[in-house]
Amino acid sequence: MASTSNPRNTQASTTTNAPPAKSAALVPTNSVTTKDGQTVRARIDPTLAVDDVIRQLCLNLKIQEPPVLYALRDDADELVTDDNLRKKIKGKVNLKLVSAPIIEAAEIVEKLSLRDERTLRLTLFSLQKFIREEQFANEFLQRDGLKELIDVIGYSHGNTLAYALNAMQNLMDLDYGWSTLDRSFIHKVVQILTSQQSLINVCRPATSILKKLVEADPRSQPGPITASSSRAPPTAPPGSVYRYGFDVVWEQMRREKGSLDIVVERLGNADTTMVLNSMMLINSLLSHATESYWEEFTDELDRLNAGKAVLRLMSHSIEDLTSCILDFQANIMRCILRKKMNPVDPFEDPKHQTMLQYIWANGKVEEAQDSECRIMKWRLLGFDSEDVSHEFDSVGVLGLECLRNFVKTDPECFAKVVLEQLNRPRDRRCPIAKASIEVVELLCEHWEIFAPGYSTSTTFQPFFLKFMKVHVLATQFLLRMWNESGAGSGDFARVVALTRSQVKLALRDENIRQWHEVEQDFLESEYRPVRDRQMKELESEDDLLNKVPVRNLRAKLYKESFEFVKQQRIHCLLQGAWFVNALPHSLATAKDVKRPSRPWRFMRLDNGMKYLNYVDSAAQFPVRNGLEDLPDRIDVSLITEISTGNCAPPPNVLREYMVDVPSASPAQPSPLSFSLLGQEGSLADVVALDQSSWADWTDGLNMLRRDGGHVATLETAAFVNALTEIGLKIKLLDLSGEKVDIPNSLHAGPPPPNNDFFFSDLSYDTPVP
């Protein structure tokens, strides 16, 4: 049913196809403004399709043009569709009968071809809003609007350029339509980003466009998420936008000298949104870096000291950046793991050879011969053998870089320590290089840097981002403990155990302690108190858990537990849950805040994991499976941040319904609240009904984001760790029950001298003669 009436004569009305069982009094009345400025009152049946509503409006208003040329929009110019019609009608929103997207798209494409600056600016201002609508975008693309938009970006500047880039950024929220962007366009965006003359409102969308191109990697194509993998096969079908990725973007950034420098420099910008976009671009580059340029890119980040810039952001406590900083920590963990797994090969890699030569040169010793007339070179610096590649097997390139950095921190001191050790009897020397390698392993163990590099840290880890500096302090501590305890060659494991205990003490409460306290713990602690504390720790520790095979088993179980919890969290999103619509803290503290008419919201993720479908309601009701009861939705790709604990429930809702939630004044942010933030503000502000639901949804949504994957809640982190420990204990029970001795390491014997051997087919219970 659609009926209209002139507001000056409310008795005159026209009704078409009115169902007899439907009372007109039950249908809300909306005002509709026509293109010629006439305003009428209309009762619109929410069960009708939008096309039917427009057809009846045109009929009642005696509009001669075909209804297909018209569309409905609200006061904010949002297009009325079948998905949101019901919401607009119930909210009695003022509607406008305007040109259909097919007409608007044709007009905008024509205006883009003009070179009039004023007309172009106004056109682009409208385009950046309309391009989000799928109907408009389809018509725009069919009329070759993308080519016109690219041309505008190529020659415009100032606000005109900002609007054009915003339009392109919004178009790229679609999973189609922009697969024809070429390298010249990408290079132009990099130039815009790098230009010091570019305005902030120009740099923001330029940064976001590059981020979207990095994430449009064939490996990131949408596909079913399984327990074994969350990525589809790395082959993009013809016409797919997933044809770009890291290599394509990085090659253009390499052409424009200093582009990455500018991105890192903008982490210190006063504009929070600019900082957020820059952080997101760096995270995307880190998480999508390929073998071809991975080492080059990470070396550039190290040169630019990106970690130091992120550390400054931690101290500023900008809430919107929390998720990005945790993502950065997780990405750096994967980088460190990758270096640890990368073997040292001085014969094939010139960089490895250069680092080894630097270490040897600063040792300031000369080659010698041992008692068996064998060349002594690397053993003089504290290695166990002359095969340096084998010496770094357990820590890879990470260990080599840490040793090089230890030497570089104070070359003269390094030479002095080497000379001091060589002047001692052989059985009293501290193996310096071996000590450095062992400290790397201790730090990796402390920060749980295991394959495949998942991070469950829910807090900032500023000391982790200073990995090299912590390594220097811990290595110096180990050398000092060796001297103060008068250790000999058989005491190396004991001194390492002392260092492990001190690492745990110095790096405790990482998110709240100051760096000078860490330095004090490593530089000023004396041997006797450290030894006494470590002995007390040994009384309550199980030595079995510190053995290398057990640590490797824990790493394997940790990966399995993380994947299990990830699937559980996403499954919760697919099931859906009830929330309370929250108020921003600034509104919650106002005196005249009233209880909203629909304080409840049910949200559910669709099976394609692209949209959060929801419905707002005055009260909870049984929601059917599927999406039929959920008319509204949020595009998951638009979510850039999940901010927690920053909004409050409306008055009286907690008191009436949420009895199990910790009490909080309505004026105070709820600890169970979270906001889904997009580029232009909050997409949703809600309060979970319990702690479990809050953890499920905040972590589940973080894991859905293409540049996410970190854990943000203590509940999820504890869940992963608990599953890991339970699995580990079950595995160890099998061994301890059989009284199997677990060695610290396994050494393979020499290979067979020839091929004259075979593998026995005997089973374990077959007697061997």
CA distances from 283 to 259, 474, 721 (A): 16, 29, 25
pLDDT above 90 for 636: no
Alpha carbon 585 to its chain centroid, in Å, reads: 26
% residues pLDDT > 70 (the chain): 82
Please check whether residues 574 and 507 belong to one and the same domain. no
**What CATH number did the domain enclosing 210 receive?**
1.25.10.10
Structure tokens, 605: 């993720």
- Lowest mean pLDDT: which of 149-158, 288-297, 659-668? 659-668
Report pLDDT for 282: 95
Band (pLDDT 50/70/90 cuts) for residue 563 is confident
**What CATH number did the domain enclosing 658 receive?**
2.30.29.30
Peptide bond just before 452 cis, omega within 30 deg: yes
Domain-embedded: residue 156: no
Give burial (CB, 10 Å; 0-12/13-18/19+) of 114.
exposed
Q: What pTM, to 2 d.p., does this model score? A: 0.73
Report pLDDT for 465: 93
Q: Torsion-angle region of residue 144: left (phi > 0), alpha (psi -120 to 50) or beta?
A: left
447 and 471 in contact (C-beta within 8 Å)?
no
pLDDT above 60 for 762: no
**Strands 681-688 and 673-678, how do they pair?**
antiparallel
d(CA 142, CA 129): 18
DSSP string, 69-127: GEEEEETT-PBP-TTTHHHHHHTT--EEEEE-HHHHHHHHHHHHTS--HHHHHHHHHHH
Backbone angles phi, psi at 682, to 5 degrees: -80, 135
Q: How far apart are the first and last CA of the chain?
A: 94
The mean pLDDT of 291-299, rounded to a whole number, is: 92
pLDDT tens string 113-133: 887 788 899 999 999 999 988
Domain-embedded: residue 416: yes
SS3 content of the chain, % helix, strand, coil (to 5): 55, 10, 35
Domain-embedded: residue 695: yes
d(CA 429, CA 56): 94
pLDDT tens string 735-755: 544 444 555 555 555 667 777
The range of the structural domain enclosing residue 650 comes to 559-716
d(CA 281, CA 169): 14
Please check whether residues 71 and 14 belong to one and the same domain. yes
Q: Which of 509, 541, 573 is the last residue of a domain?
A: 541
- Lowest mean pLDDT: which of 10-19, 170-179, 203-212, 539-548? 10-19
42 and 57 in contact (C-beta within 8 Å)?
yes
Domain-embedded: residue 663: yes
Tell me how far apart the 2 most distant CA atoms of the chain are, in Å. 115
- Encoded amino acid at 689, one letter: L
Report pLDDT for 228: 39
pLDDT tens string 360-388: 999 998 887 766 667 788 999 999 998 99
d(CA 636, CA 678): 10
Domain-embedded: residue 158: no
Q: Between vectors from CA 316 to CA 288 and to CA 322, what angle results, nearest 5°?
A: 40
% residues pLDDT > 90 (the chain): 37
Backbone angles phi, psi at 607, to 5 degrees: -65, -25
Report pLDDT for 162: 93
DSSP string, 490-512: GGHHHHHHHHHHHHHHHTTTTTT
CA distances from 523 to 210, 502, 519 (A): 45, 11, 6
d(CA 354, CA 360): 10
Please check whether residues 311 and 446 belong to one and the same domain. no
Q: Which residue has the tokens 């030479």?
A: 415
Alpha carbon 697 to its chain centroid, in Å, reads: 15
d(CA 657, CA 671): 17
Domain-embedded: residue 94: yes
pLDDT above 80 for 729: no
Report pLDDT for 559: 77
Q: Which of 331, 361, 389 is the last residue of a domain?
A: 331
**Strands 95-99 and 29-33, how do they pair?**
parallel
Please check whether residues 515 and 568 belong to one and the same domain. no
The total of other beta-carbon atoms located within 10 Å of residue 571's CB is: 12
Domain-embedded: residue 341: no
Domain-embedded: residue 547: no
- Encoded amino acid at 63, one letter: I
Please check whether residues 354 and 464 belong to one and the same domain. yes
Please check whether residues 497 and 564 belong to one and the same domain. no
Please check whether residues 709 and 564 belong to one and the same domain. yes
Please check whether residues 493 and 626 belong to one and the same domain. no
Sign of CA dihedral 438, 439, 442, 447: negative
pLDDT above 70 for 662: no
- Average pLDDT of the chain? 82
Count of domains for the chain: 4
Count Cα neighbours of 525 within 13 Å in the Cβ-side half-sphere.
Answer: 28
